[in-house]
Structure 1
Amino acid sequence: MEGSNSALESESLKHQRTRNDYGSTSAVLQGSVNGRANFATQGSPDLVSNSSGYEEFFRGSVPCPSCRGLGRIRKEDERGLVAIIPMKDERLKPRRTYLYVLIAVIVSILVAGLILFFMFPRSVVALSKQPYLEPNYLHINVTMGIVNFTVTNRYNFSNSNYFPVTITGIQSSVMYDMKVLTTGKNNTQLRIPMRSTKEQTVNLDILLQGDEAYLATYCADHRKWVHDLFMQFELTANYSYLGRTEQTTLTTYQHVSCGNSTSV
């Protein structure tokens, strides 16, 4: 009996010790939880103020895009960032780059060629399709050996350019027997559209006397082939285009009549 009682007492002592240990452990845990709650309740203003301080400190900066979220840079330096791309990156491999460059070069050459073709200056050509000239006015004095008559020579100016040109003035001189008889001018401006032809005239007042006085007898003859003179005409025409001034010349040999039924 005494052995069983001692066993029971030792067993009850073990249970009591276990309860005491459990109670102390619960108290410690409860204190820890209460402490955390008090710290969270009482320390929340400090945390708010600290977070506000961090926001104020980071206001002039932005996260660094290459620091894996661990760094910050100034906002004014954000636009000056340079991305470093590895050499094996697919974006560095040319994709039809040569084709685009070739197309750009071909288009540039084509445009330049078209501009040169259309804007390249070409000569303005003067032509005379009036081989025979008859006098508008005629006065013959066989006694004094004087022949005075006026003829009008017509010239066609052909503009082969792809832009208009302006004839600013023409001058024509008449030569007979290697001697200049007279010179006529026409300073009327004539605008010629691109790829077209227009006509301009010049009046020439011719006087035959002195060394040519003998011609008065031929000019007074009513036969046409007798008073038909072969004369040389020298034309000089000035024209302008695109702010430039050029000159064209023409030499013709034409038949001129110095007589008709009004001879004296």
Structure 2
Amino acid sequence: MEENGVINCVSGYRQIQKDEEGLFTFITVTKDVICDFDENSFASPSFELFAEYLNSCVFCRKLYVTSSVILCLLLSGLAVFFLFPRSIDVSYVGVKSIYVSYDQVNRVVYLNITSTLNITNNNFYSVNVANISAQVQFSKTVIGKSRISNITNIGPLDMKQIDYSVHTVIGDQMSYMYDYCTLTSIKVHNIVIMMQATVTTSYFGHTEQVSLERYQYVDCGRNTTYHYKRSENLNLAQLHNVPCLNV
């Protein structure tokens, strides 16, 4: 209602006060107030407190938004760092043991070769070693294959040694090796074989395969257990110095 150019406000209004600790509180005043919107009214202490309250609210809102954005970026960076897939390292330790048997009638040599792999998980979460596929070659001929599945889980930043066995058969066109492996005039019957292995790992629905191959001396004349420090791996350069068996 307007009276003599002055607008009467509704009886009862809320007033803002600021205490000694800088906190804003609303106080309800239950008397009639004349709202005379002139310059002096906007310069009143109550209006200044209200303006200061609004400014503080805007600052708090900006601080909240900025803090939220920084926190989201930080959490996203940590998630990427810890969940980003890293490679699985596979190294060939060597032949662990060899069990030798012969078929004198068919002139066949059987070698059951057990080898060891080191598998290292460089991730910050566990990975599953799904399977290991292996084969052995002698004189460019595959003499044995093997595959084992559902092997083990490797924890975060952990390493495990895994043994696997390959049953090999040296016969048919290579039956001459029976005479060499059973020759009693020599004590060590070393032959060079190529060990090939493919390790398949899985994590978070992602699969990864790592393949490796090594040339290895094995004794086909007796059962042998190798110590890792004494087992001998060959590289391609060393193969040029390995004598061939002439038949």
**Where on the TM-score scale, by shorter chain, does this alignment land: which range?**
0.5 to 0.7
Compute the RMSD of aligned alpha carbons. 3.1
Partners of 1:133 and 1:255 within 8 A in 2: no
Kindly provide the CA deviation profile for residues 62-100 of structure 1, in whole angstroms up to 9, marking residues without a partner as x.
Answer: xxxxx8228xxxxxxxxxxxxxxx9x9441575376665
Number of residue pairs matched? Answer: 178
Within the candidate set 197, 206, 209, 2:168 is matched to 206
**Cα distance in structure 2, aligned partners of 1:261 and 1:116:** 51
Q: Structure 2 matches for 1:58-137, cutoff 5 A? A: 68-69=9-10, 89-90=51-52, 91-92=54-55, 94-95=58-59, 101-130=65-94, 132=95, 134-137=97-100
1:207 to partner: Cα distance? 0.8
Q: Structure 2 matches for 1:225-244, cutoff 5 A? A: 225=188, 227-244=189-206
Structure 1 unaligned regions, length at least 5 = 1-66, 71-85
**Cα distance in structure 1, aligned partners of 2:147 and 2:153:** 17
CA gap 1:188/1:201 in 2 versus in 1, 3 angstroms: farther
Partners of 2:97 and 2:115 within 8 A in 1: no
CA gap 1:224/1:154 in 2 versus in 1, 3 angstroms: farther
Name the structure with the higher strand share.
Answer: 2
**Cα distance in structure 2, aligned partners of 1:133 and 1:178:** 23
**Cα distance in structure 2, aligned partners of 1:256 and 1:244:** 37
CA gap 1:211/1:134 in 2 versus in 1, 3 angstroms: farther
Name the structure with the higher helix share.
Answer: 1
1:125 to partner: Cα distance? 1.8
CA gap 1:89/1:107 in 2 versus in 1, 3 angstroms: same
TM-score for both structures, normalised by structure 2: 0.61
Structure 2 unaligned regions, length at least 5 = 1-7, 12-46, 225-247
Partners of 2:133 and 2:199 within 8 A in 1: yes
1:118 to partner: Cα distance? 0.8
Q: Structure 2 matches for 1:106-255, cutoff 5 A? A: 106-130=70-94, 132=95, 134-139=97-102, 141=104, 144-221=106-183, 223-225=186-188, 227-255=189-217
Q: State the identity as a percent.
A: 25
**Cα distance in structure 1, aligned partners of 2:153 and 2:128:** 4
CA gap 1:196/1:224 in 2 versus in 1, 3 angstroms: farther
Asked which structure has the greater CA Rg, the reply is 1
**Cα distance in structure 2, aligned partners of 1:138 and 1:197:** 34
Partners of 1:134 and 1:258 within 8 A in 2: no
CA gap 1:247/1:89 in 2 versus in 1, 3 angstroms: same
1:163 to partner: Cα distance? 0.8
User: What residue number does 1:18 align with?
Assistant: none
Partners of 2:93 and 2:117 within 8 A in 1: yes
Letter in 2 for 1:116: V
Q: Secondary structure at the match of 1:129?
A: strand
Letter in 2 for 1:137: V
User: What residue number does 1:7 align with?
Assistant: none
TM-score for both structures, normalised by structure 1: 0.58
User: What residue number does 1:35 align with?
Assistant: none
**Cα distance in structure 2, aligned partners of 1:95 and 1:261:** 81
